[in-house]
Amino acid sequence: MVQFIVTLFLSWHLSLSGWADAPLAQAVLYPPALSYSEAELVDRDFSNQKLAAAEFAGCTLRSVDFNHADLRGTTFSVSWMNDVDFSGADLSNAMLDQVSFINTDLRDSILTDTIWLRSSFENVKIEGADFTDAILDGAQVQQLCQIARGINSKTGVATRDSLYCR
């Protein structure tokens, strides 16, 4: 609400100044996405944070905690992860292509409408993860179906059903 009022005030103030487009007001309403691209992140705690649309492309992540974080629309493309905790996180619409997931915890996470092409999985935990409408290749689905079990506590979708396991 405060953001809306500030935006409204800035738009009004700038319109009085003769500025028809009020780019400053738009900047307040739509701040740029947070970017950690190409960073090496070790022992970081992002748990319970709002990181929607953040950029983590090309990152190396070790012992990073995203537990229950809002990661909708984030980009992790071409990254390497070891001992990363995404349990309970919302990664809807995230780009997770060409990522190495090693010792990664995806339990009870929301992974709907995500892209995983050319990513690899080693010792991942996916109990209760919801992969509904995620784009994975056949080999990935086959690998994940071997360990898929549980029901997502937020969406009510079974992990096996979301992966179309046989």
pLDDT digits (tens, 9 = 90+) for 118-154: 999 999 999 999 999 999 999 999 999 999 999 999 9
How confident is the model over 94-118, as pLDDT tens digits? 999 999 999 999 999 999 999 999 9
Do 10 and 46 lie in one domain? The reply is: no
Do 103 and 52 lie in one domain? The reply is: yes
Whichever domain contains 158, its CATH number is 2.160.20.80
Q: How many CB atoms are closer than 10 A to CB 156?
A: 8
Instruction: Return the HEC string of 97-147.
Output: CCCEEECCECCCCECCCCECCCCEEECCECCCCECCCCECCHHHHHHHHCC
In the chain, % helix, strand, coil (3-state, to 5) comes to 20, 20, 55
Q: What residues make up the domain containing 72? A: 32-166
Do 73 and 152 lie in one domain? The reply is: yes
% of the chain beyond a pLDDT of 70: 81
How confident is the model over 44-99, as pLDDT tens digits? 999 999 999 999 999 999 999 999 999 999 999 999 999 999 999 999 999 999 99
The reported pLDDT for the residue numbered 81 is 98
Q: How confident is the model at residue 31 (pLDDT cuts 50, 70, 90)?
A: low
Q: Which two tokens stand for residue 94?
A: 């995230």
Do 25 and 84 lie in one domain? The reply is: no
Do 45 and 26 lie in one domain? The reply is: no
Do 57 and 115 lie in one domain? The reply is: yes
Q: How many domains is the chain built from? A: 2
Q: How confident is the model at residue 32 (pLDDT cuts 50, 70, 90)?
A: low
What type of residue is 28?
V
DSSP state of 62: E
- The rounded Cα 146 to chain-centroid distance in angstroms is 24
- Read off the pTM: 0.81
